[in-house]
Each structure stands twice: as C-alpha cells, then as structure tokens.
Structure 1
C-alpha cells in the first residue's frame, strides 16, 4: 500500500490551479485513507508497494523569504503554535531522517511528520489548558520537507502549498497545488465528524469552526477535529521555480494562479534594490513575499496573512 499520494509525473503538463473552481478539475493526487478522529497516525501500515525509485539528481538549493501580517485576535497562541511546530519538526527530522535505502527513508519521513504533528498538538493543548483563562485557539499547518529532490508535503486545515512549475509546452508558469484543504463540508471529513458525535452547520463544525483538521482547538477534538495531516510527495524538476506557502488569509483574496503570477512579476522588477549581504535574487524574492502579503491586505483580507516563498535554485 502506497501511503503517499503522488503528484503527476514531471513529464505531464499539470493544469494551473485557480481557487475553488480548480478543485473540480482532474485530481492531482490520490487521496490517503481518511483519518479517524482518534488516529494518531501510529497505527497505520508502513509498507510501500511498487514505489517509484527516487532520483539521486541534485534538486538545487532552497532559500526562504517570509512575510507575516498578523491580526491581534489569537495572535499569541497561533504564533506560538507555529514556532513550536517549526522547532519540533527540525528536531525530529534531524534525529530520525538518515541516509539509507529509499523505502527506509520514506517510511521514516512519514513517521517523522505524523509524530511531529501529533506531538505539537499535544504540547499546545497542554499549554492551552494551563492558561487562565484557557486558550481556545487553534492553527492550521502546512509543512514541506525536502529530501534530495523529493518534496514531502504534510498539511491540515486550509493553509496551502503551491509549486510554481514552468510548462514547456504552453511556455507558461503553472500553479500546482501540493496540499489538500480540509473543509467540514467534504464528505470524508463530515462523516468523521458526525461519527464522533459532532455536526456540520453552515459549512462549519458545530456552526463555528471553518476547518475539520487543526492543531489546538481543544473544544472540538471530541467532535472529530483531528491533528492528523495529509501527506503527499512530489519530485522536483528543473522547471520548478519556487514554492509558495500561505494561510487562507491570502487565498481569500488571491487564487493560487494569481499569487504565482504576482510573485513572478515582482521577480522581473529590476528596480528592486539589493541590500548589503543579499544577492539580487534574494532581494527580489523577499520583496515579492512582502508585496504579496501587503497586497492581500489592500484587497480587503480581514484574516491573518502569512506568506512564505521558497526559492528553488539549480
């Protein structure tokens, strides 16, 4: 059983994703079995059948730019969750991911990601319950781990990861969705929530929570809201330019294709000044990241806006 849902082979020409309508098009990956509300990810099978061999080719360097526009509501708890998950991921990856055969590495990566999400959720809930008054915050999460030239994407909630890939046939850049949104109106998600004794009203869990999976949100855990992420795998190609990771505050006012094209236009802006110690490429990616977050606010996004752009260098 292949526990990773593979994205299309690099030779194919993926259709650009664009907002809600893009989800009605052809599937870009195979769904994993739905997680139960109590599944920690530790009980599932870890055997891989007929996995394609990973290429040993160089995926190039990765460089990251981050911009964050945070509203005051829930700021402390959500920021704390993000910091804990980042630190926890780095520590577990360093301890568990080692050189070995492809199957062993992939099993380790999957276990590492599942354990990290589970650990982060448990630790956050402990801290939340110890506060007076107790925190009722929660957070979505999207994590991209690069091992050689393979990306492993773990996500829950409605934050998203988008890959900018150049299509040689159309001679245009495409926005390829790497993650899967978890909405309580989706059949598998709604069934899990109802089985746990919860309900979905007005497209929300108990009529309140917009997402069906999250870190934190302790009061909804009994209703089937889980911290088990979806995990996907994607092989990088020489045509891949950058990865965009952002929360729903961006995608409420930008489609993925619009966001990718906005970044591309910034990267072509030769007027962006280079600061001391930064290359011209780094300066342009940093400017693109900041401009995109600012533009989302200008377009009227009333939610937190966090944008990360990871440059793929060759």
Structure 2
C-alpha cells in the first residue's frame, strides 16, 4: 500500500484543474516514475549549502540554480505577533549536500525547507530545526538503490520517529521535565520531485498556473499537507482508543494538535509523531510554495495567501538593490508583506512564512 498521497498531474486542457485534492497514484505509474528518476544525469555544477537560522522580523534569500532542474529560491519572514517569546523555528537548505555523505545514483540535488511551530516553549521547535534534517541526511538512501521512492518514504518516517524519541528522552531527563511540543512541516525536493512530511497544523501549499478557457493562465492552489487536530474523526478516534479525551476541540481540553514532536505528557493519550506524507512532481506550470505556521492561516485561507503573493509579484517595479534581481526583490517583498499582513489582520500568534519560488 502506497504511503504517499499524490497530487494531480498538470493538465494540458483548456480548463482549470477540477479539484485540488490529492489522489493515489497507481503502482504502474510509480514504477514508471522511479525508472525515469534513475535515468536523470548528475549535474556537475557546484553546490552551496546553507545553515539553518532562526530569525525574527527580517528577510533572508537562499539560491539554487541548476541547469535542467527547477531553480529554487527561498525567502523567509518571521513575526512575534503579540507573543512574549518567538516559539517558531525554520530551516532553509536549498542544497543539502553539505550535510550528506552521498546521494542516490543519478540524483543531482536535494533541497529542504521546514517550519516548526512550538507550544509550551521554544525548545521542541528549536530541537527539531537543529536535528531533524541532520538525521534525515544520515538516513537518506545512497548508492544506486532500485527503489529510491520507497526508501525516501521510509527515511522520512524513521527520521520523524527518531527526532521525537530523542527530544522526549532529553525532555524527560530535565528537572522539571520539559513539556514543550512542536508542529513540523518539511518540504524535501529531490531533483524535481517534492516530498512533504507534516505533523500538526502548520501547512504547505503550491501555486500552480493552469490554462483557462480564455487562453489565460489562472492560479490553482494545491494543498501539500494535511492538518492534524483532534476534531478530525480519525484523529479523535485514535485518541479515544488510547484512553484520551477531546474537549473543546483539544486533547484533554488543552492540546490543539493531535500529532507533534514532543508533548510527552500526551503521547500516552494517542498523540503521535507519524507524519502525513505527500508528494508532487514540479512542472513549468508551478510558481511557488508557501510554507507557514498556523499563525498565517488563522487569518488567511490558502487561496487568499496565494492570491496575495501573486498580486505583489504582478505589481509594479520595486526598488532595485545591488546583486539582487527584480524577481527576487518581488518574492522577498511578497514574503515580508504576507507575514506583516497576517499581524495587521489581528493574528496574535507567532507568524513564520517561507516562500519558495520555482523557476525554469
């Protein structure tokens, strides 16, 4: 049984994509994708890795340009909102080669972007930001495996499990024990294939441009992640089977999410660290990915966030800056303004937004 939900393939028809819900890919299609992946040639261009940063109220630009692959650029904005402490953390690694010993055969590039939204403190989110990608790099398949896709799935599941176990071990050894927890939404791009693993209510969405009946391109918003909260039937049933209760939409009336890293006191009540897994192949129709904590989506729907970014990208000229292209300046401005608008709309929570531009 496939562990991934696959997003729809891009259409070449004159109408927009009828639905933005993920669908399962047939086994034959998976095998064909794997065979195509093995045929990709390794690019000899230089790599430049970037270290994770936890920053606030400022922007950052990371670049990767590889011939024949999507050009990925990451932009980040973080706001405290009305919170006393910034409990979000993020990581942008457009090229993970610096922390990986080797890549699978014929794989040219692995990129990683992640947002972690802490609760009960910032220690779980910071631990995940510092360690999850390191564990992922160690477990990542190498050499010339025949079934890279399934190995990546297993790698993601094992990485989340180990990160949770290691944090819980560290948290329980403290006096008093740490009670921190964190969501995790991680976007892993292997050449042109996007893998998303998430826990909790931070989200990732993709803007895909499709042809319309008027021969114009219109945006379609595709969900790359799935929210986990105790009001969802399957999540509530698991919690109740474990002996927990759901009151006022929260686990034991307290915890808002039903899956997380940390939260040791709730793990016996059915809160788990098994991520939802999805994948999507990037195409020339794809414009950008928004990766953000729930602070953004409390005041923006996914469609509204996509349209907000597009309105800035399609706007007038921006003030030039040496060494930065106009396109990069527009994406940077869109990311910063999206986070600021969330606060302006009254979001009291921390807001962290990563905007990943996709170009060919």
Which band: TM-score by shorter chain? 0.7 to 0.9
Task: Write the mapping of 1:19-38 to structure 2, written as runs, cut at 5 A.
Answer: 27-30=21-24
Which is strand-richer, 1 or 2?
Answer: 2
User: 2-side partners of 1:173 and 1:252: how far apart?
Assistant: 22
- The superposition leaves residues 211-235 of structure 1 with CA deviations (integer Å, 9 ceiling, x where unpaired) of 1101111111110000110101111
Q: Which residue in the other structure is 2:59 paired with?
A: none
The 1-side partners of 2:164 and 2:155 are apart by 14
Whole-Å separation in 2 of the counterparts to 1:284 and 1:127: 42
What secondary structure, in the 3-state scheme, does the structure 2 residue paired with 1:108 have?
helix
Q: 1:136 to 1:74 in 2, by over 3 A?
A: farther
Rounded Cα–Cα distance in structure 1 between residues aligned with 2:333 and 2:124: 26
Matched, 1:53 2:17: no
Change (3 A) 1:127 1:108: same
Q: Which residue in 2 is equivalent to 1:258?
A: 304
Query: Please, what TM-score do these two structures have when normalized by structure 2?
Result: 0.73
Q: Structure 1: where are the runs of 5+ without partners?
A: 18-26, 32-47
Q: Match of 1:4?
A: 4
Instruction: Give the superposition deviation at 1:278.
Output: 2.1
Aligned to 1:293: 339
Residue of structure 2 aligned with 1:128, choices 165, 168, 171:
171
Cα 1:280/1:81, change in 2 over 3 Å: farther
Q: 1:107 to 1:92 in 2, by over 3 A?
A: farther
Q: Deviation at 1:151?
A: 0.7
Distance 1:219 1:165 in 2: 41
Q: Secondary structure at the match of 2:185?
A: strand
CA contact (8 A) 1:154 1:230 kept: yes
Change (3 A) 1:206 1:15: farther
Distance in 1 (CA, whole Å) between partners of 2:289 and 2:199 is: 17
| 1:181-232 Cα deviation digits (max 9, x unpaired) | 1121111111110111001111111111111101111111110000110101
- Pick the aligned partner of 1:154 from 185, 189, 197: 197
Aligned to 1:41: none
Q: Which runs of 4+ in 1 moved over 6 A?
A: none
Match of 1:190 in 2: 236
The equivalent of 2:327 in structure 1 is 281
CA apart distance, 1:251: 0.4
Q: Which residue of 2 aligns with 1:34?
A: none
Structure 1 counterpart of 2:208, from 137, 152, 165: 165
In structure 2, the residue matched to 1:75 is: 87
Is the contact made by 2:11 and 2:210 (CA closer than 8 Å) also made in structure 1?
no
* Match of residue 181 from structure 1: 227
Q: Return the offset for 1:134.
A: 3.0
Please say if residues 85 and 117 of structure 1, whose CA atoms lie closer than 8 Å, have aligned partners that are also in contact: no
CA change 1:286–1:133 in 2 (3 A) is farther
Distance 1:74 1:197 in 2: 33
Distance (whole Å) between structure 1 residues aligned to residue 241 and residue 88 of structure 2: 33
Q: CA deviation at 1:76?
A: 8.1
How many aligned positions are there?
A: 288
Matched residues in 1 for 2:143 and 2:285: separation? 26
Question: 1:114 maps to which residue?
Answer: 157
The verdict on how the C-alpha distance between 1:134 and 1:206 changes in structure 2, with shifts beyond 3 A counting, is: same
User: RCO greater where, 1 or 2, for CA within 8 Å and sep 6 or more?
Assistant: 1
Instruction: List runs of 5+ in structure 2 lacking aligned partners.
Output: 41-67, 90-117
Q: Partner of 1:227 in structure 2? A: 273
Distance 1:76 1:146 in 2: 22
- CA 1:275–1:235 in structure 2 vs 1: closer, same or farther (change >3 Å)? same
Q: Which residue, 105, 108, 119 being the options, matches 2:148?
A: 105
Preserved contact between residue 88 and residue 350 of structure 2 (Cα < 8 Å)? no
| 2:17 matches 1:14 | yes
1:215 counterpart residue number: 261
Q: CA deviation at 1:82?
A: 3.9
Please say if residues 203 and 225 of structure 2, whose CA atoms lie closer than 8 Å, have aligned partners that are also in contact.
Answer: yes
Distance 1:66 1:172, change over 3 A: same
